[in-house]
Amino acid sequence: MFRSILTALIGALALCATFMAGTATAQDYLIRSGDTLRIEVLEDPSLNRSVLVAPDGNFTMPLAGGVRAGGQTIASVQRAVAAQLTPNFASAPNVYVALERRRASTGTFVAPTVTVFVVGEAGNPGKMEVEPGTTVLQAFGLMGGFSKFAAIKRIQLHRDGKIHKLNYKAIEQGTESGATVLADGDVLVVPQRKLFE
């Protein structure tokens, strides 16, 4: 009886030690060039973004400028971003930084991707992983165009709680630009055409 309790206690302590080691590793991880960080600013969602740490160990973001990340912990980068954003806010903003993707262990750089969702009357609706810099017009091609029921003059781009209207017909004719660059988490909604549309 005593031996089984002792064995269970040792197992629990080993599990706890493993968990604590994993937590410490995440907290103590030193950011490297090629890592991708996710930054969220509670007071201004338009600043939310994924950033790639450049070979010099820095990244840039609006209102904060250049931020040193290479060799720093997540917590120290979080404090640095908040400090550099503070002059632009009435009070210090709430900033959250997370390691979104580590650089490949081989030392090669892993190209970041942007996740976009397509719903409605698209050729291939669903989740798309695209390269940074991909435009709306390019996304239309990647999603396989539109179904025959698509209302192509009323396409919507949902971003950070705002809806932007897109008119594919106008883009096709050159009277509207399709050069809007997609951001991570964007949702493209292709509504169904009305009866006489």
We report the CATH number of the domain holding residue 164 as 3.10.560.10
- Answer whether residue 126 shows pLDDT above 90: yes
Separation of alpha carbons 140 and 142, rounded Å? 6
pLDDT at residue 18 tops 60: no
29 inside domain: no
Are residue 172 and residue 122 in the same domain, yes or no? yes
Q: What is residue 95's predicted lDDT score, i.e. its pLDDT?
A: 86
pLDDT tens-digit readout, 130-187: 887 788 999 999 999 999 999 999 999 998 888 999 999 999 998 888 888 888 889 9
- The pTM assigned to this predicted structure is 0.47
Contact (Cβ atoms closer than 8 angstroms) between residue 127 and residue 143: no
Residues 184 and 119 in one domain: yes
My answer on whether 130 and 173 are in the same domain is yes
- CA 131 to chain CA centroid, Å, is 12
What average pLDDT score do residues 109-134 get?
Answer: 83
Residue 4 forms part of a structural domain = no
Domain count, the chain: 2
pLDDT of residue 148: 92
Q: Are 71 and 88 in contact (CB under 8 A)?
A: no
Q: Kindly state whether residue 25 falls inside one of the protein's structural domains.
A: no
Nearest-10 Cα torsion for 32, 35, 40, 46: 120
The pLDDT mean for the chain works out to: 80
Contact assessment for residue 159 and residue 183, using Cβ atoms and an 8 Å cutoff? yes
Percent of the chain with pLDDT over 70: 81
